[in-house]
Amino acid sequence: MHITPILKQLRDQCPSLANRVVVGIDPQTPPTSPSQPTPVAYVAVIADLASKNTAQNAFRQTIRDRFEVTLLLDATDAALALDQLQRLRAELWRALVGFKPGGDYDAIEYDGGELVSINASRVLYRLRFFAEFQLGRNRSSEPAETWHERELDGLPSFTGVTVRVDAIDPADPNLKRPGPDGRLELTFSGDVKQ
């Protein structure tokens, strides 16, 4: 998933963050500088989950791209910080839930949140989101997305067929019954015109 549309959406739709939206955070060592202005939103792509293939003669999988937004808040007054957290959560939901981060993706959904840490100076709260897309094209006119599709694209075009029929009956009494006797009873051809 491209992270740029999500960053732009947060910057445009979350005025409480005042453009303090950045990429990435290590939850084990969050920035704790007292001079850091808050609130800040850290956005990181965290995982993708793939469903099983749903097609029999092709490859078609639903991929769930997961990302998180971690909010860093000033906790000098813990009660105010937790109230601000509730307002920011709602603002993030309005900005992201239902937003499509790209043409191939379904709308973003909320996947839950959790308190990472709280101390006398900072609150760190993580919200998880996801958006799904399909791996594997729907039409052969679309670009290949898998090796199987690239392999099929490399095959020569289908131009026609010749069918030769050796019927089971009447069977040759000298051969094991029932079964074809080795004589062609019918031959026909068809050409594909484009």
Question: How does the average pLDDT of the chain come out, rounded?
Answer: 87
What is the SS3 string spanning the chain? CCCHHHHHHHHHHCHHHCCCEEECCCCCCCCCCCCCCCCEEEEEEEEEEECCCCCCCCCCEEEEEEEEEEEEEECCCHHHHHHHHHHHHHHHHHHHCCCCCCCCECCCEEEEEEEEEECCCEEEEEEEEEEEEEECCCCCCCCCCCHHHHHHHCCCCCCEEEEEECCCCCCCCCCCCCCCCCCCCEEEEEECCC
What pLDDT does 171 receive?
59
Higher-scoring residue by pLDDT: 11, 27: 11
What pLDDT does 14 receive?
94
**Domain annotation for the chain: domains and CATH numbers:** 4-135 (3.30.2000.10), 158-191 (no CATH)
Average pLDDT over residues 46-54: 93
What pLDDT does 30 receive?
54
Question: 62-106, pLDDT tens digit by residue?
Answer: 999 999 999 999 888 888 999 999 999 999 999 999 999 988 999
Question: 118-158, pLDDT tens digit by residue?
Answer: 888 888 999 999 999 999 988 888 888 898 889 888 888 88
What pLDDT does 141 receive?
84
